[in-house]
Amino acid sequence: MKKCVLLINCLLAFAVCQAQVAVVVNSPASVAGPKAFAEPAADFTTTNLSSGTWTADAVFVDNGSATPTIGCDTVLNASELAGKIALIDRGICSFSEKVSRAEDAGAIAAIVFNNVPGEAPFIMASTAGFPVTIPAVMLSYEDGQEIRDAMNEGTINITLGIFSFANDISIDGAKVVNPTEGTIPIFAVENGDFDFTPGALIVNRGTNESENAIIQATIEHNGSQVYSESESIDMVAGGDTSDLVLLPTYVPPADMGYYFVDYEISSDSTDESDIDNTASSSFYVHESAFSKARWDEDNERPMRTNAYTTADGGNILFLSGFHLSNANGATLDSVQFYVAADSQVDTVFGNWASGSTVRVYAYLWDDINGDSVITVAENELTAIALNTVTLDPNLGSAWVTVELLDFSLSGPYTITEDEVDIFVGPRFEGSESAFFGFDEGNDQTLQLEQLAVSHVDYPYLFFTAWDDNDVPTGEPSIFNNGMDGLFGGSLATALYVTPLETSTKEPVLENVTVKLYPNPAADQFTAEVELPAASKFLEYSIRDASGRQLFSTEKNNVQKDFATFNVSTLPTGQYYLLVRTENGVATYPLSVQR
């Protein structure tokens, strides 16, 4: 069970500078070059890659068994390993034991090869009783096989640690724009409540300038490419990071399933370390679920990669926010989340102190001052639904689905407004620690640092205190990882909603052509509208990301129209133009960028 405490100094971060940590095969030429790797857990070894550079020939361990390169017994070829980099295969015993035995035999560093084809290298956990002081990493099964085969050509020479490349641009999951909702219900897509604007930062880790760097984003759905856009940057200086580049907005169809998002960067220079030139994400259109996390279709629940709590344990409430339009009459059905007890204090659910409880809560957000920021002092959050979670005392962790009941506990909560912002999530109250699930793969660091304009867009908010009415007290928080960035993992909690029947909603305006230019806009934009036939009225409405109307105007007896709008007073961010006639309404995304 993977769990973390959200402390300023506990989250992993990678330095963005000209020198980076790397694993590079120097020879032979057939396998030479950087390799994708994973460093072990922080307590695995006293020496990490960022503390130096180690270059040596590589030798497989031999423990004399039927599987000699597993390294789960005394290493017999110590004379060959002394001063070398040990190569070890995964399997049978713990990673700590393997590396510790290689170190005892004289190895200056260790590389463990994964034994599962197709599985990426992952963080190796430590095991008590096998101290390690040398650097260690994991490489993939495929790289291990190539290196093993290349030994027939000659000596394998490898460098681990701090490394500099002349030409090396990169992106990663924290440097690209990921969807703010990893999972969105189909009715929200139909209502125009979701779109996605890809974007990225290009990081130049090399010493040379990178010229004509290109960001390419593609989206695939049901085996077909449904989006492909690119943008170029003239130059990114060595050791520098580009400004955020946003690509055209993608509005998905009302079609359920995965939408796979892939980023790739390139430049006019030959990249000497192209293993970090791609990043991937996804979002999922679901029948009824909202979640900030990506969707795990195989298990019918949000994707979870980790679990978190506060540094000191105790009370914690994690919330995700969602915007719903055409919501009058919809019901909040249930909430699904992951919870784990703190095994570090030998606690499982059945041993929590009397009075320790897990509940789920839903809150209606009334943004009183219109600043898109929750201010609890203004009583902007109103508790509208809850339920107490019954947990199996035999489990130390569990996925839980619990029905949401209105605050009188008389039945499901029914929304009575057309446009609402709902915050929902699990709450633990007690002196122990409860860890709740997060999806680190849907990283919102870039959103938090440069794009998010509303707390509804945040990947999570947390509180540690609440009043007698179960309304959070104090300002909402999000953790900073102490490395000039925010922890951007998304809360792996799903809210299931049953909407009104489609027939009761305002119909979608069909066969209308709308062009917005420029988009993104800086000071003004023009809407060019052509209707299939003359309409009695044509209404324009500009709304912000939370659905609030900022401006509206109407024209009569029109079929084709040009309208120019001044947006110079609007903050940079994502907006929407609604076009409405007596036949229905259509929504079009608009970006304001300066």
Q: Is residue 426 pLDDT above 50, yes or no?
A: yes
- Give alpha helix (H) positions in 75-150: 78-81, 95-104, 141-150
State mean pLDDT over 8-19. Answer: 36
Binning pLDDT at 50, 70 and 90, where does residue 506 land?
Answer: low
Binning pLDDT at 50, 70 and 90, where does residue 545 land?
Answer: low
Binning pLDDT at 50, 70 and 90, where does residue 350 land?
Answer: very low
State mean pLDDT over 406-435. Answer: 88
Residue 503: Cβ-neighbour burial (10 angstroms; 0-12, 13-18, 19+) = exposed
Burial annotation 508-518 (CB, 10 A radius, 16+ → b, else e): bbeebebebee
Which H, E and C letters describe 522-565, residue by residue?
Answer: CCEEEEEEEEEEEEEEEEEEEEECCCCEEEEEEEEEEEEEEEEE
Q: Is residue 549 pLDDT above 90, yes or no?
A: no
Q: By mean pLDDT, which of 6-15, 61-70, 245-254, 367-376 is the weakest?
A: 6-15
Which of 125, 13, 1 has its CA nearest to residue 489? 13
Which of 220, 456, 479, 451 has its CA nearest to residue 325? 456
Q: Is residue 501 pLDDT above 80, yes or no?
A: no
Residue 186: its H or E element: helix 186-190
Question: Rounded CA gap, 513 and 28, in Å?
Answer: 59
Q: Read out DSSP for 41-59?
A: -TTT-S--GGG-EEEEEEE
> CB 236: neighbour CB atoms within 10 A?
22
> CB 442: neighbour CB atoms within 10 A?
29
Quickly tell me which residue has 């095994």 as its tokens: 343
Q: By mean pLDDT, which of 100-114, 197-211, 423-437, 536-550 is the weakest?
A: 536-550
Question: Rounded CA gap, 559 and 576, in Å?
Answer: 21
Would you mind telling me the total number of residues written for the chain in this entry? 594
- The tokens for 98 are 């393997």
Q: By mean pLDDT, which of 270-274, 482-486, 491-495 is the weakest?
A: 482-486
Question: What pLDDT does residue 508 have?
Answer: 79
Q: What rounded mean pLDDT belongs to the chain?
A: 86
State mean pLDDT over 432-447. Answer: 90
CA 577 to chain centre: 28
Binning pLDDT at 50, 70 and 90, where does residue 309 land?
Answer: confident
Binning pLDDT at 50, 70 and 90, where does residue 432 land?
Answer: confident
Please, are residues 571 and 451 in contact by the beta-carbon 8 Å criterion?
Answer: no
Question: What pLDDT does residue 271 have?
Answer: 81
pLDDT digits (tens, 9 = 90+) for 512-533: 999 999 998 999 999 999 999 9
Please, are residues 400 and 376 in contact by the beta-carbon 8 Å criterion?
Answer: no
Question: Rounded CA gap, 182 and 378, in Å?
Answer: 30
pLDDT digits (tens, 9 = 90+) for 103-147: 999 999 999 999 999 888 888 888 888 999 999 999 999 999 999
pLDDT digits (tens, 9 = 90+) for 140-168: 999 999 999 998 878 999 999 887 788 88
Binning pLDDT at 50, 70 and 90, where does residue 544 land?
Answer: confident
Q: What is the largest CA-CA distance in the chain?
A: 91
Please, are residues 58 and 85 in contact by the beta-carbon 8 Å criterion?
Answer: yes
Q: Is residue 252 pLDDT above 90, yes or no?
A: yes
Question: What pLDDT does residue 548 have?
Answer: 65
Q: Which residues pair with 113 in a beta bridge?
A: 89, 139
CB neighbour list of residue 312: distance below 8 Å, 6 or more residues apart? none
Question: What pLDDT does residue 2 have?
Answer: 44
Question: What pLDDT does residue 410 have?
Answer: 76
